[in-house]
Structure 1
Amino acid sequence: MRYATVVIDPSGGDFQPTDRALALDSAVSRESIQQVNLLSDGTAVSLYAVRGNLARAEAIIAEREAVIDYDVSGDHEGLSYIHFRPTPTVERLLALVQDNEVVLQTPIDCVDGGGFRVTLVGDDATIGNVVDSIPDPLSVSLEGIGEYHPDSEQLFSVLTERQQEILDAAVEMGYYEVPRQATHEDIAAEVGVAAGTVGEHLRKVEGKVLSSLVG
């Protein structure tokens, strides 16, 4: 079984206005898409993990004409359910997964600038066909390809993009070595956040990883 991880940049194409509005608002951070499905009536549903001013996120979603229904839950971090009418580009993108024998690994990481980091699992030929069929207005760059190891992939996938970034920095800087080679302040300076934020995210990382291992 093989995997390919690609980053899809929608900046040059007709992507979803709701997602673009969330991506461009400084008060809101799109962390990941937990699930997304194209429905038989041509509409779609998605479940976002969002962070920041969730009242602002709700206001942005409510203003979009393509949104049929929505719900936002949580405080500083939470989930946003959106039932929407997809653009032709998004509809074609979602149909690619339904029409081919590949698995779209979730959650899907949201990246700065409105893009997405997507991992597809299947055989090389089918993955290649799906990637080649991604609509032309979208820019696609390959990040990785190889044998799929579900245990390690799934364990890392329970973390948000920010948590992955902080964990990567912590490991590289020796935070988990004995004796410890880095502090929260060192990691904060490396990734550009407050030391308290580093501590908060590492506690969540450790909780998620341990829960996954025990489960």
Structure 2
Amino acid sequence: MRQFTIRLTPSTPGFHSVDGAIAECRAVTRESFLHLNLLNDGTGVALYRLRGDADALKAVLADSEAVLSFDVFDATREQFHAHVHFEPDDPATALLTLADEHKLIIDTPLEFTGEGSLKLTLAGAQDRIRRAFAGLPESVTVWLERTGSTTRTEKRCGPPSPVASEKFWT
């Protein structure tokens, strides 16, 4: 079993329409997804950790047609959480479907970087990871940051670099 720490960068703000609306809200900063999942009914749920103005986030979520329900909670002076039930779209749907189809484990939290990317660690059989990456949507750029086995022997890959699926994964 192998693990890969990668950085995903969507071509548009956010990984789905709701996430894009949150990303564009200047009063809120996305820190991480603590949970992200597609449900059997075809909808999605996300648990965010955020910073900033919780009331501004509530307004963004209330205005989004893709939000089915939400709860903003544990608001402190700067940090808070949001549970969002939403109608998913791409690239989030494609990414989560690939992880599910190839039986990959997504280690949480998934951390947002300052440039709108999402840093995450995947674990699974190397051939399954290779097949999953071959199916990534073109709307997402992938940067490999670290590889290793799940027994904690890791190898830094030097500065992050874009992953060329045919060259790297074969």
**Does TM-score exceed 0.5, indicating one fold?**
yes
1:86-125 equivalent positions in 2, closer than 5 A: 86-125=88-127
Q: Are the aligned partners of 1:13 and 1:138 in contact in 2 as well (CA < 8 Å)?
A: no
Partner of 2:35: 35
Report SS of the residue matched to 2:137: coil
For structure 1, which runs of at least 5 residues remain unmatched after alignment?
151-215
Q: What stretches of structure 1 move > 3 A for 4+ residues in a row?
A: 12-15
Provide Cα deviations, 1:100-122, integer angstroms capped at 9, x if missing partner: 12100011011223321121011
1:200-211 equivalent positions in 2, closer than 5 A: none
* Identity rate, percent: 33
Provide Cα deviations, 1:178-209, integer angstroms capped at 9, x if missing partner: xxxxxxxxxxxxxxxxxxxxxxxxxxxxxxxx
TM-score by length of 1: 0.65
From the superposition, tell whether residues 23 and 14 of structure 1 become closer, same or farther in structure 2 (CA, over 3 Å).
closer
Q: CA deviation at 1:95?
A: 1.0
CA distance in 1, matches of 2:21, 2:13: 14
> Quick check: 25-34 or 78-87, which moved more?
25-34
Q: CA deviation at 1:14?
A: 8.4
CA distance in 2, matches of 1:13, 1:29: 13
Partner of 1:196: none
Q: Are the aligned partners of 1:14 and 1:137 in contact in 2 as well (CA < 8 Å)?
A: no
Partner of 2:17: 17
The one of the two structures with greater contact order (alpha-carbon pairs below 8 A, sep at least 6) is 2
Q: CA deviation at 1:149?
A: 4.2
Report SS of the residue matched to 2:41: coil
CA distance in 1, matches of 2:91, 2:23: 18
Q: Are the aligned partners of 2:14 and 2:23 in contact in 1 as well (CA < 8 Å)?
A: no
Q: CA deviation at 1:139?
A: 1.1
More helix by share: 1
What is the number of equivalent residue pairs in this alignment? 151
Q: CA deviation at 1:50?
A: 0.7
Q: Cα RMSD between the aligned structures?
A: 2.0
Rg larger in 1 or in 2?
1
CA distance in 1, matches of 2:92, 2:104: 17
